[in-house]
């Protein structure tokens, strides 16, 4: 027995010492890089007391900056001056200066995105999967020059097969066709067979590849969550749908899948194209030659004012968080948000409460059915604070709610890929279409009012009246909020 303990100590003590040294180094890294003091303390304590477990977890889940992306984009600009200048000049020609109320909403997001609002756009809401993919496939079918396709999830089911065959058809017609997917989101995709068929047919296809480079091999906690389709630079699609039969409501577990996409025709399609171009360059180190002209710029001063807002873990500012905070703080009489996940950080949580306290009609719509149990549980922990401030919370009853939609007053509407949780705000590459237009906001209002008719109101009692084991599970889930 004593010999066994002696052998264990001789082997285990050096390993534990090495783990502690690595833990101290990790704590120093956390102090210098983790954005919040709460996060720093949490990681520091865990690393100090449980180093063998938490050191590898920290280097996978503790990173908040996606390494290499900014430098790679800088290299793209410096190495392809003519192509980059053509894109800049092309988009700038359609810039629509913001005036009066528009400026209040739009000036901040122009700074965050480094994109400009453009005029002369038409944006149509696409409600649910049938309308979305019917429109997307019709646009791809009509393409004459090129097709850009990017999704977080692609599954090799009936819908995935339909997309594959359509892309092969357009490639056979001589068009340039590009397909980009997230390797983690699409982990169930039979990548080799799916890709090989596409490549053999002339389609260029690649994964986003978050772990490129020796220093990035642990960047598995980041996702490219964007869903973008651009055809000939003239029309773009952005929203919540992925390529799977589930998004057509053909999943027995969820039934009806409530989601929203938008179709953008006009200069804002060029800005959306720019988002795809940057991601493609990261994945392939190839800057595509694309169309950067819609038509005579003087004809595009009317119509809807639109901006394509990319956010992600690559800048000096937390663009996702600041986008939401700006919208919440600008709201004067209405703020309606639909999101499948509600795990906001403290600044956004407080901003929502303050908006309600100053008389804004704040409504948050989340699903009744969970698809991720931890995120579903964590949302309960916010109910009492929201209820006390007057924030109205709703759970959608007719299937699963997956749309990412925001309506601010009668002036600003947003449809995109960003959820109201830490992952979307800080860890994911996201994109949203922002529309400053009263007609579009009326359409958005009508759509959301119909959704609210399929909701039940919830409040603090939905948490406080639950049994103790459930409330304990909720609090534990809340502790995991930074990595959900």
Distance of alpha carbon 484 from alpha carbon 480, whole angstroms: 6
Which top CATH class is 319-483? Answer: alpha beta
Which pLDDT value is given to residue 274? 95
Please name the residues in contact with 179: beta carbons below 8 A apart, sequence gap of 6 or more: 149, 150, 167, 198, 203, 204, 205, 206
Q: Name the residue ranges covered by the structural domains of the chain.
A: 2-61, 69-96+116-305, 319-483
Alpha helices in 114-253 (DSSP H): 128-141, 158-172, 191-200
Sign of CA dihedral 156, 159, 161, 167: negative
Please name the helix (run of DSSP H) or strand (run of DSSP E) that holds residue 305, with its range, or none.
strand 304-311
Residue 411 neighbours by CB distance under 10 Å = 21
Cα of first residue to Cα of last residue in the chain, in angstroms, is: 44
Do 69-96+116-305 and 319-483 have matching folds? yes
Sign of the C-alpha dihedral, residues 48, 52, 54, 60?
Answer: positive
- Tell me: the pLDDT tens digits for 166-220? 999 999 999 999 999 998 888 877 656 888 899 999 999 999 987 776 666 666 7
For 69-96+116-305, which CATH class? alpha beta
Task: Provide the pLDDT for residue 131.
Answer: 97
The backbone region for 295, taken as left when phi is positive above 0, alpha when psi lies in -120 to 50, beta otherwise, is left
The pLDDT, as a whole number, for residue 224 is: 94
* Low-confidence residues in the chain, pLDDT < 70: 1-23, 25-27, 29-65, 190-192, 213-219, 296-301, 481-484
* C-alpha to C-alpha distance for 358 and 71, rounded to whole angstroms: 43
- Helix %, strand %, coil % of the chain (to 5): 50, 20, 30
Rounded CA gap, 246 and 212, in Å? 31
CA distances from 453 to 346, 394, 399 (A): 30, 10, 13
**pTM, two decimal places:** 0.90
Q: What is the C-alpha to C-alpha distance for residues 308 and 238, in angstroms, rounded to an integer?
A: 9
User: φ and ψ at 5, to 5 degrees?
Assistant: -65, -40
Which 8-state DSSP code applies to residue 425? I
Catalytic residues: 225, 227, 232, 402, 404, 409
The pair phi, psi for residue 407, each rounded to 5°, is -125, 120
Q: Tokens for 52, please give them.
A: 């063998």
């Amino acid at each position: 027995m004593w010999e066994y303990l002696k052998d264990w100590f001789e082997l285990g003590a050096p390993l534990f010492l090495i783990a502690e040294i690595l833990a101290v180094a990790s704590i120093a890294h956390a102090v210098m890089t983790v954005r919040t003091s709460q996060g720093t303390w949490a990681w520091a304590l865990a690393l100090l007391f449980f180093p063998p477990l938490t050191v590898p977890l920290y280097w996978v889940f503790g990173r908040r900056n996606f390494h290499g992306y900014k430098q790679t984009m800088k290299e793209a600009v410096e190495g392809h001056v003519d192509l980059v200048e053509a894109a800049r000049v092309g988009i700038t020609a359609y810039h629509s200066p913001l005036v009066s109320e528009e400026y209040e909403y739009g000036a901040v997001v122009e700074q965050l995105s480094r994109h400009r609002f453009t005029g002369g756009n038409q944006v149509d809401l696409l409600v649910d999967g049938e309308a979305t993919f019917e429109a997307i496939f019709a646009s791809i079918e009509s393409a004459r020059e090129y097709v850009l396709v990017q999704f977080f999830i692609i599954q090799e089911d009936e819908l995935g097969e339909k997309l594959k065959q359509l892309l092969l058809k357009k490639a056979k017609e001589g068009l340039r066709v590009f397909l980009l997917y997230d390797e983690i989101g699409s982990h169930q995709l039979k990548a080799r067979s799916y890709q090989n068929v596409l490549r053999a047919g002339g389609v260029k296809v690649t994964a986003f590849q978050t772990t490129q480079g020796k220093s990035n091999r642990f960047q598995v906690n980041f996702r490219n969550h964007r869903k973008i389709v651009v055809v000939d630079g003239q029309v773009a699609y952005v929203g919540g749908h992925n390529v799977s039969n589930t998004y057509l409501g053909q999943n027995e577990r969820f039934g009806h899948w409530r989601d929203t996409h938008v179709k953008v025709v006009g200069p804002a399609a060029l800005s959306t194209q720019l988002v795809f171009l940057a991601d493609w360059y990261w994945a392939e180190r190839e800057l595509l030659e694309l169309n950067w002209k819609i038509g005579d710029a003087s004809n595009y001063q009317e119509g809807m004012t639109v901006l394509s807002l990319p956010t992600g873990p690559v800048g000096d500012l937390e663009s996702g968080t600041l986008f939401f905070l700006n919208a919440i703080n600008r709201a004067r009489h209405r703020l309606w948000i639909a999101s499948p996940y509600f795990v906001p950080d403290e600044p956004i949580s407080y901003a929502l409460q303050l908006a309600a306290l100053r008389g804004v009609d704040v409504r948050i719509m989340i699903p009744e059915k969970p698809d991720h149990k931890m995120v579903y549980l964590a949302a309960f922990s916010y109910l009492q604070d929201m209820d006390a401030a007057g924030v109205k919370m709703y759970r959608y009853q007719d299937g699963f709610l997956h749309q990412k939609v925001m309506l601010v007053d009668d002036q600003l509407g947003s449809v995109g890929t960003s959820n109201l949780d830490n992952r979307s705000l800080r860890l994911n590459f996201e994109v949203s279409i922002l529309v400053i237009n009263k007609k579009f906001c009326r359409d958005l209002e009508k759509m959301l009012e119909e959704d609210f008719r399929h909701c039940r109101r919830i409040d603090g009692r939905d948490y406080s009246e639950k049994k103790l084991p459930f409330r304990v599970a909720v609090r534990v889930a809340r502790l995991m909020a930074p990595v959900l």
